[in-house]
Structure 1
Amino acid sequence: MKKIAILVPRFHPNIAGGAEKLALDYALILKESHQVQIFTTCAKDYVSWKNELREGEEDWDDIKIHRFPVKKERNINVMNQVLESCLRKGNKVSIEEEENFLIEQGPYSPSLVSRVIEVQNQFDLIILVGYLYYPIVKVLPNLKKPTLIIPTFHEEPAFTLPLYKRTFLPDYSYCFNAPEEADVYKKQIGVLPKNYFYIGTYVSLPKEEVLQQNPISVEEEGINLLTLGRIEPAKGFPELYAHYDSWKHFFPKEKIRLVSIGNNHLPNDLIPISVHLQGFVTQTEKENLLQKSHLILNPSALESFSIAIMEAWSFAKPVLVNGKSDVMRGHCQRSQGGLYYSDEISFRRSLEYLIQNPDIRERLGKNGRKYVELNFTKETIKNKLELVVSKLLD
């Protein structure tokens, strides 16, 4: 039995973020045949990095979790100002300025960094989840043990800083969530890594008989649109809501309902009255809403995988996604499970087309489910992950 350490900025079973779900999924898979320990912070909220969880060691489901305090809460406005200053200077930005940005980005936990570096020789493999944050950037150059980076790269401004090109060298082993994520790496670093894999993570597949329960009557209920996940500017929700509200003015007689589930981080003036916010819901409630929906929307341009569209497809629901996300556009093209838009006009046209063609919606949803069945079940992800780990440990 090998010993594996996983470093992730925040970790808790009830955290809904994509990288955090991936870290949790991988930990639960690997603990079946290895000894797994998690190194993380006391933060639950990624916006502030406020210490909310107890510092120290915790045993959870045969996994030992080591939590370390965050010394400085994040101020998003200050961080953005520092980032903008660094970006304006381009390649002339100083190491000191980049260091300042990294601290503002957080989670600033020097004790977490020093502890992972100190105990690395106790482990056979170290897995780092994420790329943007202080602990990952500070730990990586100091590791001497076999390392697997699961970066969840996005094509975002911060990744263009020289800091990240110096840190994420092509000599390391990487695990990408999609081919498009590898393209992001190559665009920023200049070459592909010498050693890289594609895995992603899994979603649970409802049984076919579950999908046939409670059929939806469009005549009675109209069309139900649904979004999943955090409602915030970085996820494209202001644009989606503006597009949708504008479109609704052109089709006031249509029985259309847009429901968003997930924690809201938008001011009230950016949320039209035509949008119904459900807030955080239980897994059962989410599954019920998925079952009753006709179309799932994902407006984010910054995705390295998109669990939301995989959950939609697991219920055989079609998706309409932001085509500026290369990853989601790639998923839609490979699966033939959804459409994508690039601006307000293409959003309107795609939405109208899907609303007016139920047979197309059904076909796209079935295609998406087949795609998940082939690529993103727990058994498939488990086999891929165990193969990667065995290669790195040989």
Structure 2
Amino acid sequence: MRLAFVTPRYGAEILGGAETQVRDYAERLAAAGHDVEALTTCAVDHHTWRNALPPGESVATGVRVRRFAVTRPRDHALAARQQPVLDAGLCLGPEGERAWVENTGVSEPLLEAIAATAPRVDALLFAPYLFASTVLGAAVRPDRSLVIPCLHDEAYARFAPVQAALRGAAGLILNTEAERDLAARLLGELPPNRVVGEGFEPAAAVDGEGFRRRHRLDRDALAYAGRRERGKNYHLVLEYVTLYSRALSRRGPVRLLAMGGGPLQPPESARPLVCDLGFVGHGEMLDALAASLASVQLSRMESFSRVLMEGWLAGTPAIVDAGCPVTREHCAQSGGGVWVGDAEEFAEVVDRLRADPELRGRMVDAGRRYVARRYNWTAVLGRLEAAVRELVGN
């Protein structure tokens, strides 16, 4: 097949679940013999949309990458006016929603390239759902457009331009049944769709004990990997770990291994408990997970959650938020994790895991089997190839 992925940011240096998923899909399909290219902007930071990379063509891991300049600079004053309205649960109105989308890295040359590319490819694949490259780009040739939405239950998913793009596409490629349920609630009647998910290799050798020695960990630890922002409920992770360590624990305090970056800093009461690792390489992340009692992911804004899979492969069970259908679905179907609704339930789970190594081991084994069975690359690539052929009629 001849395929073109369209994403606002592309490359190994780009952090983000959707961006990683697109790159993995593109590289795996290219390695399988498909003709694959990626159309993207010159931006790296989705908060500024500044053109940080030069326009032009390159080849990255078998994928032809074409970059185009962002031509509408970020209007920071508009963003500052609109975000408090959304945070308050209010609507922007039709003009405001359109303005929000058009403030997310519009590139006229990219839209022109989409139109020129569409006749010579079997499908255009857009991700994620909320940015101009998808909302405006998928409307250029909807009959050739498949959207990989990576959908979250958030205000942007209710914008009229966003929903029009999703409804108008030739099809949707979804990550989980829970994401499909969310799409159905938001959109009503869904366009043709398939659930594919993300792929993983078996974990390379991990060294949890070596990590503990290198970082002089002398107590049980919990791991958090991801963006440190309220949208990912990182503040709740800090709150639960602090309450557990200061008041609720029956077995003493724990450390929090915090990986990733973001604006949210721990309050004074939590700082002694946090081991701030910042941005780490993939191998170091796996070692940190292996060194931990559990991976704590309390985000409700997930369409898949790579870090759950990485944790299971590294030998770590998961603690997730009961209000996140996606991560709860993974834990229920795998047996590799537990969902909690408040700090007291969190404390009970952590105490139980600390007291029962055999239970922890059974959860890890269940999680690993789940990833190996459902999300090995052979299975995922087969589902992806079938989805593209079926949804665009090839």
1:96-147, Cα deviation, whole Å (9 max, x unpaired): 222211123x022222122212332121211111111111100112215532
**What amino acid does structure 1 have at the position aligned with 2:47?**
V
- Residue pair 1:264, 1:279 contacting (<8 A) in 2 also: no
Aligned with 2:239 (options 242, 250, 253)? 242
Cα separation, 2, equivalents of 1:80 and 1:160:
20
Size of the aligned set, in residue pairs, is: 386
Match of 2:167, SS state, is coil
Q: CA RMSD in A?
A: 2.6
The gaps in structure 1 that reach 5 residues or longer are none
Cα separation, 2, equivalents of 1:309 and 1:285:
16
Cα distance change on mapping 1:319 and 1:103 into 2, 3 Å: same
**What amino acid does structure 2 have at the position aligned with 1:371?**
Y
Higher alpha-carbon deviation: 221-230 or 306-315: 221-230
The gaps in structure 2 that reach 5 residues or longer are none
- Residue pair 2:206, 2:283 contacting (<8 A) in 1 also: no
Aligned to 2:100: 101
1:216-239, Cα deviation, whole Å (9 max, x unpaired): 99xx94312111122222111112
Cα separation, 1, equivalents of 2:208 and 2:85:
55
Cα distance change on mapping 1:222 and 1:84 into 2, 3 Å: closer
1:2-46, Cα deviation, whole Å (9 max, x unpaired): 321100111111323110111011101111221111011111222
Cα separation, 2, equivalents of 1:88 and 1:174:
27
- Residue pair 2:124, 2:144 contacting (<8 A) in 1 also: yes
Cα separation, 2, equivalents of 1:352 and 1:213:
20
Cα separation, 1, equivalents of 2:169 and 2:72:
32
Higher alpha-carbon deviation: 260-269 or 336-345: 260-269
Residue 309 of structure 1 and its aligned partner are, at CA, apart by 0.3
Residue 65 of structure 1 and its aligned partner are, at CA, apart by 0.7
**What amino acid does structure 1 have at the position aligned with 2:148?**
I
1:271-317, Cα deviation, whole Å (9 max, x unpaired): 63311110111122122212222211112110000000000011231
- Residue pair 2:43, 2:51 contacting (<8 A) in 1 also: yes
Aligned to 1:225: 222
Cα distance change on mapping 1:72 and 1:344 into 2, 3 Å: farther
Match of 1:369, SS state, is helix
Q: After the TM superposition, which residues 288-299 of structure 1 pair with which residues of structure 2 at under 5 Å, given as runs?
A: 288-299=287-298
Cα distance change on mapping 1:229 and 1:263 into 2, 3 Å: same
Cα separation, 2, equivalents of 1:215 and 1:88:
46
- Residue pair 2:153, 2:182 contacting (<8 A) in 1 also: yes
- Alignment of 1:277 with 2:276, yes or no, is yes
Cα separation, 2, equivalents of 1:109 and 1:120:
17
**What amino acid does structure 2 have at the position aligned with 1:176?**
L
Cα separation, 2, equivalents of 1:273 and 1:213:
22
TM-score (norm. length: structure 2): 0.90
Cα distance change on mapping 1:159 and 1:62 into 2, 3 Å: same
Higher alpha-carbon deviation: 263-272 or 220-229: 263-272
1:188-230, Cα deviation, whole Å (9 max, x unpaired): 111233x2111111122126xx46985999xx94312111122
Q: After the TM superposition, which residues 142-157 of structure 1 pair with which residues of structure 2 at under 5 Å, given as runs?
A: 142-143=140-141, 145-157=143-155
Identity of aligned residues (%): 24
Cα separation, 2, equivalents of 1:320 and 1:128:
31
**What amino acid does structure 1 have at the position aligned with 2:332?**
Q
Aligned to 1:363: 362
Aligned to 2:40: 40
- Alignment of 1:264 with 2:274, yes or no, is no
Cα separation, 1, equivalents of 2:379 and 2:163:
32
Cα separation, 1, equivalents of 2:111 and 2:211:
51
Residue 89 of structure 1 and its aligned partner are, at CA, apart by 6.5
Cα distance change on mapping 1:287 and 1:216 into 2, 3 Å: closer
Match of 1:347, SS state, is helix
Residue 165 of structure 1 and its aligned partner are, at CA, apart by 2.5
Aligned to 2:64: 64
**What amino acid does structure 1 have at the position aligned with 2:234?**
F
